[in-house]
Amino acid sequence: MSAMQGAFDPSELQGNILRGYRRAAVRYAVFEVVKPVAARRWLGRSASGGDAEVPAVTPERSWSVRPDYCFNVGLTFAGLRALGLGAAMLAQFPGEFAAGMVRRAVKLGDVGTSAPECWPAPFDQPARVHLVAAIYADDGAHLDAVQRLLEQGDAAQGLRLMGIRNGGNFDGDFVHFGYRDNISQPRFAEIAEHADLGEPIAPLGMALLGHSTGLEGVSWRVPQPSVLGHNGCFNAFRILAQDVAGFEGYLDQTAEQLLADPRGAVLLPPGDEGRIGAGLTRRAALREVVAAALCGRWRNGVPLALSPETPNPEPAVSLTAFDYTDDRRCPVGAHIRRSNPRGAKIVQRVASHTRRLIRRGMPYGPRFDPDRPDHVERGLLGNFIGASLGAQFEAVMYDWVNLGLQDPRITGSNDPILGVNDPATSWFDLPLRDGKPIRLAGLPRFVTTRGGAYLFLPSLPALKFLASLSPV
């Protein structure tokens, strides 16, 4: 183990890890390090509180007054090398991070139209994706102002801007496909506001290097010197395009199928449409029942695990404090149960509660208007954060999202929302109260990967350490 660490000081972390900023807009700027000396100088200024020319890296803290913008940085393995980190230090980073997202494509399901060969610039040149800066604000003017800073002085000298991606909320916490997002996250004892949310508290080592992990006795390697690795974490940054027309079309098609199937009446007894929503037609109500089953939450966020019959339970239920102890309420294959089975029985018993992900995301692209269908790209700018990409993000993507290994009843099927589905072979079981489920077939792939990178999110002291590397 590394040298003794002092008490945990959250203000040494970048601010977008243990909690979200909840701003309305985000801009990711992707850079190549072209002059390491200038790039390091810039990074050092940014990590040390910034100045008139350099935006400050935002640390973890509780705000009394929200700043105009927040600013954070992540580095790829190639980026750490380009900054001048030596081979011996680089060698201590985990293999999947060193390989980078592109070389893990098959494992992540990035095949076919999601394959890295199809990714647009700058992600078509992964070797030059070195640093991803994220600017968060409530309006475009602030994003522009920070971007201008990134195009002058040391930044302009040391870094080449390869591309940007803009995201923004269009309907509060609702995202494309019409679900409410940003509800559940791992909670940490070290963050005061997390105490009373009724969700299990996650060990700090689930998020950060250098702390106990959820796997008993197991610790991840902390790249040395300790200042470099300690309190750092990894982020799978993903640009995920969503086919909203395809998704809504699939709900239409399935509703038609259920209208014709006598078991549709078991799923939703005729006359009960009102409990799904006031004034809904039977077809519209069935669409919502299917949408809820695919996700594990009604579109308004209410979890099926607590309210399988209606999105508007009375009294209201918690959105976060639930489990899958009553196995039949939420489909085993539903997106949120697949990607976090919580306390449900799973095949990999020892891995229960250990593959958790911190999710920080924002939609991109305009809201889809079903009356004026278009082909504009829209989706999610997602960040899936944890102390180990292999044990968390990749384990979830490969074993759970795309193979369904955690429960024999879904093994061989993919996540209905996110998975690499092929309509010829895909299936999803809708549980019925009286036994045998209704098997839905023909799910296409609704989410396509359009870019991304594995990033290391260093602590502030680690950023300063990187800035202080001797010239190469």
User: From the list 115, 145, 183, 280, which residue makes contact with ligand HEM (rule: CB under 6 A)?
Assistant: 183
Binders of ligand HEM among 367-386, rule CB under 6 A?
379-380, 382, 384
Partner whose binding site includes residue 407, from another protein, ligand HEM, none (CB under 5 to 8 Å by kind) = another protein
Peptide bond into 225 cis (omega under 30): yes
The one-letter amino acid at 301: G
Which region among 38-46, 109-117, 210-218, 331-339 touches ligand HEM (by CB under 6 A)?
331-339
Q: Which of 102, 122, 120 is nearest to 236 (CA)?
A: 102
Binders of ligand HEM among 236-255, rule CB under 6 A?
238, 240, 242
Query: Applying CB under 8 A, which residues contact another protein?
Result: 1, 94-95, 106-107, 109, 111, 215-221, 346-351, 354, 390-391, 394-395, 398-399, 402-405, 407-409, 411-414, 420
- Report the nearest approach of another protein to the CB of residue 463 (Å): 23
339 scored as a contact of ligand HEM (CB under 6 A):
yes
Partner whose binding site includes residue 183, from another protein, ligand HEM, none (CB under 5 to 8 Å by kind) = ligand HEM
Are the beta carbons of 463 and 73 closer than 8 angstroms?
A: yes
Are the beta carbons of 280 and 291 closer than 8 angstroms?
A: no
391 scored as a contact of ligand HEM (CB under 6 A):
no
Tell me the torsion sign for CA atoms 460, 466, 470, 471: negative
The 3-state DSSP composition of the chain as helix, strand, coil percent (nearest 5) reads: 30, 20, 50
Closer of 41 and 165 to ligand HEM (Cβ): 165
- Report the nearest approach of another protein to the CB of residue 372 (Å): 35
Helix and strand counts by DSSP (H, E) for the chain: 14, 12
Give CA–CA dist 278/412, Å, rounded: 38
Burial of 123 by CB count in 10 Å (0-12 exposed, 13-18 middle, 19+ buried)? buried
402 scored as a contact of ligand HEM (CB under 6 A):
no
CA triple 233-355-202, angle to 5 deg: 70
Are the beta carbons of 342 and 356 closer than 8 angstroms?
A: no
User: How close are the terminal C-alpha atoms of the chain, in Å?
Assistant: 29
User: From the list 136, 179, 364, 465, which residue makes contact with ligand HEM (rule: CB under 6 A)?
Assistant: 179
297 scored as a contact of ligand HEM (CB under 6 A):
yes
Residues 266-295 vs ligand HEM: string with x where CB under 6 A?
-----------------------------x
Radius of gyration of the chain (CA): 23
- Report the nearest approach of ligand HEM to the CB of residue 242 (Å): 5
**Max CA distance (Å), the chain:** 74
3-state secondary structure of 287: helix
- Report the nearest approach of ligand HEM to the CB of residue 142 (Å): 26
Q: Which chain residues interact with ligand HEM by CB under 6 A?
A: 175, 177, 179, 181-184, 238, 240, 242, 295, 297, 335-336, 339-340, 342, 357, 359, 379-380, 382, 384, 396-397, 401, 417-418, 447
